[in-house]
Amino acid sequence: MSTPAPPRLPAGERLRRAGFGAWALIGLLIVAAAAIWALIKISVIFPPLVIALIIIYALNPIVSRLERKGVRRGIGAVGSYIVIVGLLTALGFALTPLAARQIETFQEDWPVFRDRLVTVVDDSVDGINERLGTDFSTTQFDCLLGSEEIGEGGGPSLEQCDQATQRFREFFESQTSRLTEIGTSVIEVLLWFVIGPLIAIYLLMDLPQLQRDMLNLVPSSHKDEVADLGGKIGRAVGGFFRGQLLVAFLVGLMSAIGFAIIGLPFWFVIGAIAGFFNLIPLVGPFIGGGIGFVIGTVYGGVGLGLKAAVVEIIVQQIDNHFISPNVMKRTVQIHPVTVMLSLLAGGALAGFWGILLAVPAVAVGKLVLGHLWATRVLGAEVAPYAGTGREPPSVVVETQPESDENSAETRPEATRSSPPR
């Protein structure tokens, strides 16, 4: 027997709640803008915190499971660090020789590769000019690569190269005075990858206590709601980071295997590049396909280049239709167009780190706004279920009682829908 739908809220009450929700949204946008401004001002602490955040979300499920089995949280955190670092070190020792051989081979083949690339580009541009009647020049490209034909009959003259590369020489000469700054930047990057894991290990050990301390700052009347919303956000962000690491590994593995099957030179390195850049959603296969197409075209003709591009198209389709939907389900259900716009906005605001955090930030915003709309505008009461392992209970809609009789009938209904606290 189906349960009758609860009566709708009066029009005046709906309007009041909509106004409250609109002002709440404006307040949230102001707070978000202030937070972004503050983060930009203290951007020096941003990279190690992002690294720590990724490590925490990746390892916290393991540490929490060990804690439930009776292992002290500090021991579990340190043990997880040791095991993960050991596995990554062993994997590095196993794969580094293969990558080193391919990189060394590319370095030895660079003069031949450069001349072939120049020839391919020149022939392609000449064909385009003949068909379309255009006048594109490859002088700057040939000069930048340092083709052996410079100064000979088939290539640009030394004077042309001097003119074409004058701007680049001035740029690099201006950078020589910044060697100290460049060295400082390198040291900062190294510090990120030292400080970030240290921050993560301390936060992992004290995470439950930190969560309780943060929750104690919330008024008692809203603790259940904030705990529930925080649990949803934690699952969404943690699921994104863990899932994206797994997806990047699978994309890199499939790309490398596909490139090896078609006989593409440097298949392992190009596959690893595709996997690394797939840490940013939707980007890896395009970069891997572009590099594979160039390498394949130079070494084996357009046919091999097209095969490399087809490999990445197949990898992308497998990722989009099978891997990502299953790995990312119940975490960040965001439309691909929203993902692309988020990446552009994140890159404009905070560069690489903004791109890395754009999608989880949008996912958090979606959860918070959806929660506020449901609870503050629609009058829904979402019972807390975070950390229980159960599916979310049904949403209870509060209604204004039309009479004492209706109130007596609806009050037990609401009570039954909420779990005991």
pLDDT band at 5 (very low <50, low <70, confident <90, very high): low
Q: Is the Cβ–Cβ distance between 382 and 392 less than 8 Å?
A: yes
Listed in sequence order, the residues at least 6 apart from 227 whose beta carbon sits closer than 8 Å to its beta carbon are 215, 384, 386
CA pair distance 123, 26, nearest whole angstrom: 57
pLDDT at residue 69, as a whole number:
92
Phi, psi of 192 (to 5 degrees): -55, -45
Residue 150 CB-half CA count within 13 A: 21
- The residue among 351 and 391 whose pLDDT is bigger is 351
pLDDT average, residue stretch 282-301: 89
DSSP string, 232-288: HHHHHHHHHHHHHHHHHHHHHHHHHHHHHHHT-TTHHHHHHHHHHHTTSTTTHHHHH
For the ranges 268-277, 293-302, 359-368, 389-398, the lowest mean pLDDT is seen at 389-398
Query: What does the pLDDT read at residue 6?
Result: 54
pLDDT at 152: 54
Using CA atoms, how far apart are residues 68 and 71, in angstroms rounded to an integer? 7
Q: pLDDT over 90 for what percent of the chain?
A: 22
The answer on pLDDT for 37 being more than 50 is yes
Tens-place pLDDT, residues 174-193: 555 555 555 566 677 778 88
pLDDT at 413: 40
Residue entry with tokens 């460049």: 182
Average pLDDT over residues 66-93: 91
Amino acid symbol at 208 = P
- For residue 179, how far is the Cα from the chain centroid? 31
Indicate the range of 2-16, 127-141, 243-257, 310-324 predicted with least confidence.
Answer: 2-16
**What average pLDDT does the chain have?**
78
**Residues 324, 326: Cα–Cα separation, whole Å:** 5
Task: Mean pLDDT check: name the lowest of 27-41, 48-62, 339-353, 402-416.
Answer: 402-416
Locate the domains of the chain by residue range: 42-212
Please tell me the predicted confidence (pLDDT) of residue 79: 93
pLDDT digit string (tens) for 301-344? 889 999 999 999 999 889 888 887 776 665 666 777 787 888 88
Tell how strand 380-381 and strand 396-397 pair up: antiparallel
* Residue 421 predicted with pLDDT over 60: no
- Checking if the pLDDT of 156 tops 60, the result is no
- Tell me the one-letter amino acid at 56: I
Enter the DSSP assignment of 394: P
Q: Residues 248, 275: contact at Cβ < 8 Å?
A: yes
Main-chain dihedrals φ then ψ at residue 303, nearest 5 degrees: -60, -50
Residue 211 pLDDT: 87
Tokens of 296: 């394949």
Q: What is the full DSSP assignment across 132-171?
A: H------HHHHHHHT-TTTTSTTS--HHHHHHHHHHHHHH
Tell me the C-alpha to C-alpha distance, in Å, between residue 324 and each of 140, 252, 317, 329.
41, 14, 10, 8
What are 225-262's pLDDT values in tens digits? 888 888 888 888 888 888 888 889 999 999 999 999 99
State the pLDDT confidence band at 290, using cuts at 50, 70 and 90: very high
Is 328 or 285 the better-scoring residue by pLDDT?
285
> What are the φ and ψ backbone dihedral angles of 380, each rounded to 5 degrees?
-80, 145
pLDDT for 236: 85
pTM of the complete model: 0.70
* pLDDT on residue 257: 96
The CA-to-CA distance between both ends of the chain, in Å, stands at: 28
With bands split at pLDDT 50, 70 and 90, how would you rate the model's confidence at 382? low
**396 DSSP β-pair partners:** 381
Amino acid at 135: D
Select from 295, 281, 292 the least CA-distant residue to 255: 292
